[in-house]
Amino acid sequence: MNKLGIRVLFLAAVAGLSLPTYAASINGKVTDASGKAMGGVMVSAFDTAKEVSISVHTSPDGSYTIDGLADQSYNVRARLLGQDDEWTNDVSSGDAANFKLNPTDDFNQQQTSDKLFSLVKWDSDKDKQNFKMSCAYCHQIGSIGFRSPEEPVDWETMITRMDGFGGLYKHTQETIVQRLLDAYSEEAVEDWTDFEAPAAPSGKATMATVTEWDMGRQDATMVHDIELDEDGMVYAVDMINDAILTLDPKTGERKVISIPGGKDPETDGIPRKGPHSIELAPDGSMWMTFALSGQMSKYDPKTGEFTTVSSAPSPRPRGAYPHTLRIAPNGVVWYTDAGAGVFSLDPSQDNKVTQYKLPTADQAVGGGRGESRGRTPYGIAIAPDGMIWYTKLNGNRVGRINPNVEGGDVKEWNPPFRGPRRLHVAPNGIVWVPGFGDGIFASFDPKTEDWKIFELPDAMNQIPYALNIHPTTGEIWICGTMNDTMIRFNPETEEMTEYRMPSRVTYTREVEFGNDGSIWVCNSNYPVRHTERGRGSIIKIETD
């Protein structure tokens, strides 16, 4: 136990207090309408007061046990695609909750967005890929919320607003509204052919406990990225409310920390700072990119103080759109600017910012997909050997900077897939990259310059946003951003396991790991009204 933990226990004892204990459980069995046991059913216990749920799957014999509960009452839900949800409310911990599921009459309303996205008709896979690369950055496609633009906005106004960056092909701009109406209008929905329910999860896919905490304001939150400190506290950035959200997983306590110079997090309005990414520094502070104001900012959790500087080299007052950051062991902050390039910021040199000159399109190595309009420097990672790796999302490049050489000795590769996004580097030096546009992920060996591609199920309807490498198992965890899942991949056996998340419309962007080996993500779908409860969330996954 660390010194802080000892101090907390000591103070609790002195004050005559007791720390929260969660030793109770709820168990039961799930059967179908005929009484046959149902395995692979997700059962969730909801604490409505603390706005948290804990979910497990039933065993092949239909039984389940949800451990780690407080001694209180819960609302318990049983869920399986193709079956109607069933609830039993006010179940006291220690009691049993049994369920009998019935096939749903409207499976279309349960469908995940990868299946719904497949309903849109395209003239070519290239057109479909271009739509994914332009219109799926913030939310799933085809969900109930997506099919219901806010009143009085119509489809044409909505799509025109979504294509504000002008990324869609000209011929797609002219036809996209009708394509979406043909797939998702009320009349189209009435003519949908019934989907076939997938098989229930089994094996490893059922061996996980998933805890989900709702975060932020109802219908007005964007929990973009998360980070954990050394004591397990979770920090999240609420991009549309100019705030840091904190969660103490032990107690469920949440706090909203307003960013100086930003909008009031508790009211509607236009954000001014746009906190996008957050990372823990060696000194315990949290660094963030402020995408909308073109700044970098350090938050000190001990003092509550913010230090905010331009994300561009002096004397430029601001950057373009600072995006993703990572922090080296020496405390140097490395980050991408989606409109400008790759930068480093050195706190030991009065927050000096350095920009690195990136290769032109014709200087990349490899014969993969070409560069599109708008390069979009995006993901960034620090390799175990100290090299800096980055991606260009639209530029379709993976690059490497050597921070030990003047100018960075920058080199870029052209991958054989579209849309490299948030990458990471394994201890053995292999670079792992999600391919957002192609629905794949890939490994790259810098020594041989060889790529190896792994397709996700139903790849062309998937949009893997990010991945990360588990620090103890070496497994790759990938965001199943379009179908409410997280994917676990063993690079030695190439076994892929898909874990279903408890809530519909779960759009994940970042993967972190706890000191206990747990996996942490957040639901960042925006607009958040598309999500099942209209809330952002922080999600913890404990496997095996």
DSSP string for 8-50: HHHHHHHHT-------EEEEEEEEETTS-B--S-EEEEEETTT
Omega before 403 cis (within 30°)? Answer: no
Q: What is the DSSP string of 197-233?
A: PPPPP-GGGG-EEEEEEEESSTT---EEEEEE-TTS-
Given this model, what pLDDT does residue 363 score? 82
Under a CB-based contact definition with an 8 Å cutoff, are residues 100 and 31 in contact? yes
Omega before 152 cis (within 30°)? Answer: yes
Q: Is 351 helix (H, G, I), strand (E, B) or coil?
A: coil
Under a CB-based contact definition with an 8 Å cutoff, are residues 131 and 418 in contact? no
Under a CB-based contact definition with an 8 Å cutoff, are residues 67 and 210 in contact? no
With 0-12 / 13-18 / 19 or more C-beta atoms within 10 angstroms meaning exposed / middle / buried, residue 260 is: exposed
Q: Which residues of 512-534 are buried (b: 16+ CB within 10 A; e: fewer)?
A: bbeeeebbbbbbbbbbbbbbbbb
Given this model, what pLDDT does residue 160 score? 74
Question: How far apart, in whole angstroms, are the C-alpha atoms of residue 404 and residue 427?
Answer: 19
Given this model, what pLDDT does residue 368 score? 62
Taking alpha carbons only, the member of 197, 199, 30, 192 closest to residue 103 is 197
Q: What count of other Cβ atoms lies within 10 Å of the Cβ of residue 340?
A: 20
Question: How far apart, in whole angstroms, are the C-alpha atoms of residue 536 and residue 516?
Answer: 24
Given this model, what pLDDT does residue 519 score? 98
Q: Taking the C-alpha atoms of 285, 240, 439 and 120 in order, what is their torsion angle to the nearest 10 degrees? A: 180
Residues in contact with 22: Cβ distance below 8 Å, sequence separation at least 6, in sequence order: 68, 69, 70
With 0-12 / 13-18 / 19 or more C-beta atoms within 10 angstroms meaning exposed / middle / buried, residue 207 is: middle
The two structure tokens encoding residue 430: 């292999």
Under a CB-based contact definition with an 8 Å cutoff, are residues 334 and 381 in contact? no
Question: How far apart, in whole angstroms, are the C-alpha atoms of residue 495 and residue 68?
Answer: 30
Strand (E) or helix (H) holding 485: strand 485-490
Residues in contact with 229: Cβ distance below 8 Å, sequence separation at least 6, in sequence order: 235, 280, 284, 286, 301
Taking alpha carbons only, the member of 33, 127, 42 closest to residue 78 is 42
Domains observed in the chain = 3-105 (2.60.40.1120), 221-356 (2.130.10.10)
The two structure tokens encoding residue 476: 């790759």
Q: What is the DSSP string of 299-311?
A: E-TTT--EEEEES
Mean pLDDT by 10 residues, the chain (544 residues): 36 43 91 97 97 98 97 97 97 95 92 96 95 93 89 72 74 91 91 90 98 97 97 98 98 98 97 98 98 98 98 97 98 97 98 95 73 79 98 95 96 95 98 97 97 97 98 98 98 98 98 98 96 97 92
Question: How far apart, in whole angstroms, are the C-alpha atoms of residue 221 and residue 25?
Answer: 32
Distances (CA, A) of 430 to 6, 292, 325, 472, 486: 39, 33, 20, 16, 21
Please report where in the chains the tokens 């096939």 appear, as a residue: 103
Question: How far apart, in whole angstroms, are the C-alpha atoms of residue 264 and residue 257?
Answer: 10
Question: How far apart, in whole angstroms, are the C-alpha atoms of residue 508 and residue 538?
Answer: 10
Question: Model pTM?
Answer: 0.94
User: Residue 306 is which amino acid?
Assistant: F
Strand (E) or helix (H) holding 186: helix 186-190
Q: Taking each helix axis from N to C terminus, what angle separates 125-135 and 170-184, rounded to the nearest 10 degrees?
A: 90
Distances (CA, A) of 110 to 105, 138, 189: 11, 21, 13
Given this model, what pLDDT does residue 106 score? 87
Question: How far apart, in whole angstroms, are the C-alpha atoms of residue 443 and residue 432?
Answer: 5
Strand (E) or helix (H) holding 78: strand 73-79
